[in-house]
């Protein structure tokens, strides 16, 4: 396993669910991160799907010491660099391109790119990446597909994201090649918009209890 993959796994170790967040109002970022951390989910992914996303990452990185903030939906090197400069501790992409591979290899920030097919997984493995995002998980075949990959490509581990919920997360976490899952159910839009941080903390606590089987 590469040093960067090991670094990324150590950042996310012991956290079964990585909250995938879409921040519509930058003022929500810090209190949301604090609520999730109190509930046992300090590592979060803020997606670059809103105009305030980079500023949200900056605020969490600068104001919420207990949080481990990463950025998601990174599509090109310019976004990678911007996310890293904003304070991202890890960077997530839906897929892997030669350009993203190069910029990530030149950066100290660990990279979690997406892969679906065996060919994509093998290409990432050959490039030295042994911890990948499996996206979109449910639409691509779900836990059954990942289980089928576990034997032929046993040294690659995954974080499935996309359609993962409280109802099906345990099915993924029970697989030998799954480290954690990504999901948005721990921070529903309505609770975030209304500032219901106590309820989000409780959802995080329940998600943090979804431990992998011993």
State the pLDDT confidence band at 98, using cuts at 50, 70 and 90: very high
CA pair distance 206, 40, nearest whole angstrom = 9
Residue 5 in this model has a pLDDT that exceeds 60:
yes
Are 138 and 162 in contact by the 8 Å Cβ rule? The answer is yes
Residue 143 in this model has a pLDDT that exceeds 60:
yes
Strands 131-134 and 90-93: unpaired
Domains and their CATH numbers in the chain: 3-206 (3.20.20.70)
State the pLDDT confidence band at 211, using cuts at 50, 70 and 90: confident
Encode pLDDT of 178-192 as tens digits. 999 999 999 999 999
Are 59 and 32 in contact by the 8 Å Cβ rule? The answer is no
Give the angle 26-85-78 at the CA atoms, nearest 5°: 95
pLDDT for 11 equals 87
Residue 214 in this model has a pLDDT that exceeds 60:
no
Encode pLDDT of 35-71 as tens digits. 999 999 999 999 999 999 999 999 999 999 999 999 9
Q: Catalytic amino acids?
A: 45, 133
Are 42 and 65 in contact by the 8 Å Cβ rule? The answer is no
Encode pLDDT of 160-171 as tens digits. 999 999 999 999
Q: Is 186 helix (H, G, I), strand (E, B) or coil?
A: coil
Are 112 and 133 in contact by the 8 Å Cβ rule? The answer is yes
């Amino acid at each position: 396993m590469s040093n960067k993959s090991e670094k990324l796994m150590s950042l996310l170790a012991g956290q079964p669910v990585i909250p995938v967040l879409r921040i519509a109002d930058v003022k929500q970022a810090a209190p949301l991160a604090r609520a999730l951390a109190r509930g046992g989910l300090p590592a979060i992914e803020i997606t670059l799907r809103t105009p305030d996303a980079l500023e949200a990452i900056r605020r969490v990185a600068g104001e919420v010491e207990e949080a481990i903030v990463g950025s998601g939906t990174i599509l090109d090197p310019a976004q990678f660099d911007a996310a890293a400069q904003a304070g991202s501790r890890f960077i997530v992409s839906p897929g892997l391109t030669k350009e993203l591979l190069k910029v990530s290899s030149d950066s100290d920030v660990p990279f979690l790119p997406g892969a679906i097919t065996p060919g994509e997984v093998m290409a990432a493995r050959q490039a030295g990446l042994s911890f990948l995002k499996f996206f979109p998980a449910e639409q691509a075949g779900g836990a059954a597909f990942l289980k089928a990959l576990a034997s032929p490509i046993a040294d690659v581990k995954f974080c499935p994201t996309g359609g993962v919920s409280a109802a099906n997360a345990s099915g993924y976490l029970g697989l030998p090649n799954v480290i954690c899952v990504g999901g948005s159910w721990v921070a529903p839009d309505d609770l975030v918009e209304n500032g219901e941080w106590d309820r989000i903390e409780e959802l995080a606590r329940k998600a943090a209890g979804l431990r992998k089987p011993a």
